[in-house]
């Protein structure tokens, strides 16, 4: 795993239905084929399907789990590197801060908190069959990226991650 | 402060404009008049206005701050009990878990993460000039409460807090 | 509760034996008589005894609990304001950062982590029948305060809290 | 990186002196040669030296950083996978919970909190020129492992990690 590989998070629920899981698997596959590392919450549903797609394509996945240990938060069987946080949904912040860009697939309240924490900290978010938001001023936030397919979502996430790194490098005067 | 007093959180941004602050002040005032404790993020904007309203009405406010100390996160001058977490936006989870009910006033991405974390954990949320949400199934979540005035927001939050405590007591077989 | 009241934390285990609990009760009583607010982990043993002493003296106690809710982390019956963090032992950091000074009474590994996190962030720590430490250079850390009785421990904690506030005020140019 | 690879944490300070860094480098090298993954806090001193040793031996290191981003917490240049937590010293809990076993090299208060949090949660800890502890009963905790050289420390950590996994597998009825 090269240190310069992009880290792409997939946000999504633990109890997703089959079509979303198919999309998550394809999303994971494309993240791995692009040479990026998958970050996810490490549990079932969308998270497991994304990690399964990564493994099928020979990539690496990192699962950032809510519980204190394997008994409290069993990682799904496709996770390569499980990390236990003991922080519950506080682990969503670690996902949001560690990713170069994120893709939200479907999702419930936990996923919405990940989307919000990511945007709060400048992490680009691509939405795939996920929440739609209207801010207190009655506007859709113009800094969310909408995609219609896993292929488009991964392409958009990688482009956003690249743009973000370039801007970070400029700030450091590289 | 009686241990049975309700704890009502006010979620909201640090850079709110004047009309929202007027509403936040009135919200805080009504929380205090009802004998409830205010929980908030302890910073400026909506948080400071809510705490100011609480103090004007002789109540007590608790500010759960993002930073490690007073230098990193100065509490606004109306906070009675400041707590420093050093968790950044991770402190939003503490607010969401500690409140019996919450009122979101306006707000940006941080506020949205608080709304999502609260709902994830069963804390009732009243929205006042705040985000509007459409879930991945295209529906507005039916477990959010909409209010048009501070008066209605506080009444709705207190009613929801009372209902939640009764349901918790029933589960404990009281 | 005046905003300028000192916040004194009591660190200690959930399964303490009777003599330590007697000391914790007396420590809590003296914290309350001094007009300070008690911060503790909110659970049983030393934490419950300290809160019991506070209540007997008409003071206020705040319990910062590890679990997500009352079912997961029942506060002991003497806590006035329970806060739920969902962070497990991560809540020890909130205690260490929020206290003006801390008193460790007995304790196991959790208490030791609280002592260490407090010292890491400049919070004075008074040890009462607690851990003894020798640093990697073979020296006892000279910034720990040793006390032999609850009376001495509370006096030392209050003196250290006052000295710390004065130094913070000087830094702010007050 | 095989999912079954052991995850060995190195705890240690950011401002270590040269002899400790030599030991940390050798510790990292031996962790990598054993096919294990290094977890560390991602900063300077002992953490950087351990990661440098890992890289020299062709291994993989994961840095769990205190800050929100690269600007706030620059990872040392030898880290392969940086994760940003925004939790400050709260990230010590993630290290303690995610490691199969840990080696503490020298260290200050932050390292002591890592040792305590690891032991609180059943993670074996090997001490190498680090803290010496006497519990409130006047006894040295008998569940700490003492090593005199990096070679012995890594061998002891791997043996403890293996024993712990076997015990976890037995509990799951494998």
Question: D71-130: per-residue pLDDT in tens?
Answer: 999 999 999 999 999 999 999 999 999 999 999 999 999 999 999 999 999 999 999 999
Q: How far is CA A140 from the centre of its chain?
A: 21
In chain D, the percentage of residues whose pLDDT exceeds 90 is: 91
**CA–CA distance from A34 to each of A2, A11, A49, C71, D167 (Å)?**
13, 18, 17, 45, 39
Cβ–Cβ pairs < 8 A, chains B and C? 83
Asked if the C-beta of D6 comes within 8 angstroms of chain A's C-beta atoms, the answer is: no
Rounded to 10°, the helix B46-56/B18-33 angle is 40
pLDDT tens-digit series, residues A155-172: 999 999 999 999 988 887
CB D27 within 8 A of CB D47: no
Show the CA angle centred on residue D135, arms to residues D129 and D139, nearest 5°. 85
pLDDT tens-digit series, residues A71-81: 999 999 999 99
Cα separation, C72 vs C49, in Å, equals 20
Asked if the C-beta of B130 comes within 8 angstroms of chain A's C-beta atoms, the answer is: yes
CB A108 within 8 A of CB D114: no
The answer to whether the CB atoms of D89 and C120 lie below 8 A apart is yes
Tokens of B11: 């979620």
> What average pLDDT does range A35-48 have in this prediction?
98
pLDDT at B103 over 70: yes
Contacts for C28 with CB less than 8 Å, ≥ 6 apart: C10, C38, C49, C50, C51, C52, C53, C54, C56, C57, C59, C61
Q: Which chains touch C (3 or more CB pairs under 8 A)?
A: A, B, D
Cα separation, B38 vs B19, in Å, equals 20
Contacts for A166 with CB less than 8 Å, ≥ 6 apart: none
Q: Which residue of B has its CA nearest to C1?
A: B80
Matching residue, tokens 């950087």: D48
- Report the 10 Å Cβ neighbour count for B34: 17
3 state SS of A92: helix
3 state SS of A7: strand
Tokens of B172: 């404990």
Q: In what order do the strands lie in the sheet with D7-12?
A: D81-84, D61-65, D37-40, D7-12, D101-105, D125-128, D144-147
Pick from B112-116, C60-64, C165-169: least confident: C165-169
Q: What is the pLDDT of residue B4?
A: 85
Q: How far is B93 from chain D (nearest CA, A)?
A: 12
Q: Which residue of B has its CA nearest to C78?
A: B3
Q: Which residue of B has its CA nearest to A111?
A: B116
Cα separation, C162 vs C36, in Å, equals 12
DSSP C120-156: HTT--EEEES--EEE-TTS---TTEEEESSHHHHHHH
Asked if the C-beta of C126 comes within 8 angstroms of chain D's C-beta atoms, the answer is: no
Q: Which of C1, C62, C97 is the closest to B86 by Cβ?
A: C97
Asked if the C-beta of A44 comes within 8 angstroms of chain D's C-beta atoms, the answer is: no
The answer to whether the CB atoms of B131 and A136 lie below 8 A apart is yes
Contacts for A99 with CB less than 8 Å, ≥ 6 apart: A7, A8, A9, A39, A118, A123
Contacts for D85 with CB less than 8 Å, ≥ 6 apart: A93, A94, A97, A98, D64, D65, D66, D67, D91, D94
Asked if the C-beta of A116 comes within 8 angstroms of chain B's C-beta atoms, the answer is: yes
More confident residue, C169 or B74: B74
Residue spans of beta strands (DSSP E) within chain D: 7-12, 37-40, 61-65, 81-84, 101-105, 125-128, 132-134, 144-147
Provide φ and ψ at B166, rounded to 5°. -60, -40
Show the CA angle centred on residue A113, arms to residues B71 and B97, nearest 5°. 70
pLDDT at B24 over 70: yes
Q: What is the pLDDT of residue C58?
A: 97
Tokens of B150: 């501070």
CB B34 within 8 A of CB B154: yes
Q: Which of D1, D70, D79 is the closest to A80 by Cβ?
A: D1
CB B54 within 8 A of CB B32: yes
- H/E run at residue C165: helix C150-171
**For residue C145, what are the β-bridge partners?**
C126
Q: What is the DSSP letter of B65?
A: E
> What average pLDDT does range C134-152 have in this prediction?
96
The answer to whether the CB atoms of D3 and A79 lie below 8 A apart is yes
**DSSP 3-state percent helix, strand, coil across chain D (nearest 5):** 40, 20, 40
Rg of chain A (C-alpha set): 15
**CA–CA distance from C17 to each of A65, C10, C21, C106 (Å)?**
35, 16, 6, 10
Q: What is the pLDDT of residue C18?
A: 86
Q: What is the pLDDT of residue C156?
A: 98
Q: What is the pLDDT of residue D4?
A: 85
More confident residue, D148 or B174: D148
Tokens of A173: 């005067």
pLDDT at C126 over 90: yes
Tokens of B21: 């602050």
Q: Is B4 exposed, middle or buried (0-12, 13-18, 19+ CB in 10 A)?
A: exposed
CB D145 within 8 A of CB D125: yes
Which pLDDT band holds residue C173 (cuts at 50, 70, 90)?
confident
In chain B, the percentage of residues whose pLDDT exceeds 70 is: 99
CB C8 within 8 A of CB C99: yes
Q: What is the pLDDT of residue B1?
A: 62
The answer to whether the CB atoms of B133 and A136 lie below 8 A apart is no
Q: What is the pLDDT of residue A1?
A: 62
Tokens of A118: 């990511």
Tell me what ipTM this predicted complex has: 0.96
Q: What is the pLDDT of residue D61?
A: 98
Asked if the C-beta of A93 comes within 8 angstroms of chain B's C-beta atoms, the answer is: yes
H-helix segments, chain A? 18-33, 46-56, 91-98, 109-120, 150-171
The answer to whether the CB atoms of D87 and B90 lie below 8 A apart is yes
């Amino acid at each position: 795993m090269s240190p310069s590989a992009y880290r792409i998070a997939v946000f999504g629920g633990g109890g997703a239905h089959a079509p979303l899981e198919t999309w998550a698997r394809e999303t994971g596959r494309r993240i791995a084929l692009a040479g990026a590392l998958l970050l996810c919450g490490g549990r079932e549903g969308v998270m497991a399907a994304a990690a399964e797609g990564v493994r099928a394509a020979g990539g690496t996945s990192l699962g950032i789990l809510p519980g204190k240990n394997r008994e409290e938060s069993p990682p799904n069987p496709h996770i390569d590197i499980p990390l236990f946080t003991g922080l519950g949904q506080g682990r969503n912040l670690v996902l949001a801060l560690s990713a170069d860009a994120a893709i939200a697939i479907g999702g419930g309240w936990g996923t919405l908190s990940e989307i919000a924490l990511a945007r709060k900290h400048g992490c680009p978010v691509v939405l795939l069959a996920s929440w739609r938001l209207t801010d207190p001023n009655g506007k859709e936030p113009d800094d969310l990226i909408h995609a219609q397919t896993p292929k488009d979502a991964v392409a958009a996430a990688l482009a956003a991650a690249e743009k973000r790194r370039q801007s970070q490098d400029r700030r450091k005067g590289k």
